[in-house]
Amino acid sequence: MKKITIAIDGFSSTGKSTLAKAIAKTLGYVYIDTGAMYRAVTLFSMRKGFIDAKHFSSEKLIESLDEIQLHFEYNGERGFAEVYLNGENVEDVIRSLEVSKFVSQIAEVKEVRTKLVQQQQNLGKAKGVVMDGRDIGTVVFPDAELKVFMTASTDVRAQRRFDELVVKDPSVIYEDVYTNVVERDRIDTTRKDSPLVKAEDAVELDNSTMSREEQYDLLLQLVRERL
Ligand code: C5P
C-alpha cells in the first residue's frame, strides 16, 4: 500500500504526540518525536553547564555538537520509540519542567536546528512516518502529503501539561507550567530560524473541546483521503 508522510505541528501541549503515536500504531508507521531531540540536546547542555538560569553559552554548545549522538529505539511495552542521548535512554528525564524551561532557547540555535533537521529528514526519507514538532510541515518535510497544525486554548494546554507533570512530581505548581507554555510559544513563534507557523496547506485542528477519539477519527479520515 502507498505510504505517506504525516507532519504534525503546533503549539506546546496540544496533544500532538498522543495523536501521532496512536495514528502511527494503526498505520504501522514510524513515529518520531522531534521535540524529544531538542529536549535531549537541552539535557546535554544542562549537564555540561552550557545553560542554566543565569547564562547560556551557545558557542560552547555549537563547538560540542559533534559529541551529541541521538537515536530512537522502539520500546515494545510502551509501543513507541524512545530517545537515546549518547547511548543513554533519556525518554523520561527530558520531560521535566527544568528541561522545558530551557529547551526553546536551545531550539533557537541555527546550528542545532541544522543538525537535527538533517537527522529527521534521514529518519523519514522512506515515508511511512508520522513526525511531530514545530517545523515539520514547513521545513523538514515541506512536501508531506498530510500536514496538521494543532492548537488549543492556553488554559486547556497548561492544564493538560500540569496533569501530566504532577503525577511524577507533586510539587509542580500550575502557574509555573502555565508560564512555561506561554513563554515557549512566544520564543517558538518569534525566533528567526524556522519559527512555528502554520504551513499554508496544513489542516488546522483546534482540539480545545475535542476528545481524543474525535481527533483520532478526524486524522484517520484525512489520512484515508490521501492514500
Ligand atoms: O514538542 P515538545 O513540547 O516536546 O518540544 C519542546 C521544544 O522543542 C519546543 O517548545 C520547541 O522550542 C522545540 N522544538 C522545535 N522544533 C521542533 C520540535 C520542538 O523548535 N520540530
DSSP-derived secondary structure letter, 66? G
* C-alpha–C-alpha distance, residues 136 and 10, integer Å: 10
What ipTM is given for this predicted complex?
Answer: 0.99
Mean pLDDT for the chain overall: 97
Ligand 1 centroid–CA 133 distance in Å is 6
* C-alpha–C-alpha distance, residues 21 and 140, integer Å: 19
| Contact residues for 221 (Cβ-Cβ < 8 A; gap 6+) | none
pLDDT-based confidence at residue 1 (cuts at 50, 70, 90): confident
pLDDT-based confidence at residue 195 (cuts at 50, 70, 90): very high
Q: Is the CB of 107 under 6 A from ligand 1?
A: yes
Ligand 1 centroid–CA 226 distance in Å is 27
Work out the average pLDDT over 70-84.
96
Question: Tell me, what's the pLDDT at 176?
Answer: 96
- Sketch out the chain's domains with CATH numbers: 5-220 (3.40.50.300)
Give pLDDT tens digits for 101-156.
999 999 999 999 999 999 999 999 999 999 999 999 999 999 999 999 999 999 99
**Residue closest by Cα to atom 11 of ligand 1:** 104
**Residue closest by Cα to atom 20 of ligand 1:** 107
Ligand 1 centroid–CA 1 distance in Å is 31
The closest of 57, 59, 61, 56 to 40, measured between CA atoms, is 61
Q: Is the CB of 137 under 6 A from ligand 1?
A: no
3-state helix, strand, coil in the chain (%, to 5): 50, 20, 30
Q: Is the CB of 134 under 6 A from ligand 1?
A: yes
96 marked among binding-site residues = no
* C-alpha–C-alpha distance, residues 206 and 96, integer Å: 26
Question: Tell me, what's the pLDDT at 10?
Answer: 97
This model's pTM is above 0.90:
yes
